[in-house]
Amino acid sequence: MAARTFSESLHILLVEPSSMQAQLVERMLQNLGVSRLKTVRSGNEALAEMRKARPDAVISSLYLPDMDGTALIFAMRADEDLEYVPFILISSETRPQALEPVRQSGACYIVSKPFDEKHLAQALVGVVDILEPEKKYSPEDMEEVRVLLVDDSVASRNHLRRMLNDLGIEHVQEASNGREAVNLLADTMVDLVLTDYNMPEMDGAALVEYIRTRSWQASVPILMITSESNESRLAAVEKAGVSAVFDKPFGARDMGEIVARLLADRENNA
């Protein structure tokens, strides 16, 4: 299956210190139809370039000469003009402790080395979904849907809220851990709970168990969004009654489809 060709209007900023790697990615992007492409070598150069001309997306290596990709994306998320620029990481790194901060910050895709044009095209599909969100997923009027978003990372909550807003969902309440979520659920009715797994005070697993066994909203759909890779922990969460588990990072299209399915299932079972 041929890789998708993207619009020439798509403006990409590539952050890559290696000339050889930069040339490889540039060639792949050009083959995919991307012609508006600027390459810089460091994080500070990238930030300066973005402030001159805001790109549609940033593709970056993890290890840069002046900072790492994690510091770059957090600097972007702290700048209101760059906060929602989609970020794609390219890396051979496999250690969870190195990749977790990038996932939590709302990166839309992580491309693992070695990769080819097809992998890069999949990442760009996620970018296009963010830039041109579809609003055709809804089994009901999305404007009336009430969501509780539970995540200890502010950057992750901002990213997820943006995705929900792009789907037409405006009624979003936030909690930074399971205990705060429990307090909100005590007197606030919601149609969907989106929760992270790893959180202080009360983690996602405990929150799912609480909702299913002790909450007056025991049947509410629960979508767990996590980078947790421990299969036994995830199995315990599924047994506790989570409706679906999503791995970070993921695209807006994936979010729309799963939210629509969960809401439709709830409506059909009501």
pLDDT of 134 over the 90 cut: no
Query: 22 and 119: one domain?
Result: yes
| pLDDT for res 1 | 40
Is 5 a domain residue? no
Asked if the structure places residue 3 within a domain, the reply is no
pLDDT at site 88: 92
Same domain assignment for residues 123 and 147? no
Q: Kindly indicate the confidence band of residue 54, based on its pLDDT and cuts at 50, 70 and 90.
A: very high
Residues 117 and 201 in one domain: no
Domain co-membership, 147 together with 36: no
Would you say residue 153 lies in a domain? yes
Boundary (domain end) residue, out of 74, 107, 131: 131
265 & 184 share domain: yes
* 107 and 175 share one domain: no
Distance of CA 90 to CAs 21, 94, 200, 243, Å?
Answer: 10, 11, 29, 31
Q: Does 180 fall in a domain?
A: yes
Domain boundary among 81, 111, 131: 131
Beta carbons of 73 and 87 less than 8 angstroms apart: yes
- The verdict on 151 and 174 lying in the same domain is yes
**pLDDT tier at 99, thresholds 50, 70, 90:** confident
d(CA 151, CA 160): 10
Kindly state whether residues 120 and 181 are assigned to the same domain: no
- Residue-number span of the structural domain to which 117 is assigned: 11-131
Strands 146-150 and 109-112: unpaired
Residue 201 in this model has a pLDDT that exceeds 90 = no
Q: Is residue 261 located within the same domain as residue 146?
A: yes
Residues 157 and 212 in one domain: yes
CA separation for the pair 87, 38 (Å, rounded): 15
State CA 198 to chain mean position distance.
16
Among the three residues 78, 111, 131, which one is the final residue of a domain in this structure? 131
Lowest mean pLDDT among 47-51, 146-150, 214-218, 251-255: 251-255
Average pLDDT across the chain, whole number: 84
User: What is the number of structural domains in the chain?
Assistant: 2
Predicted local confidence at residue 227, as pLDDT: 66
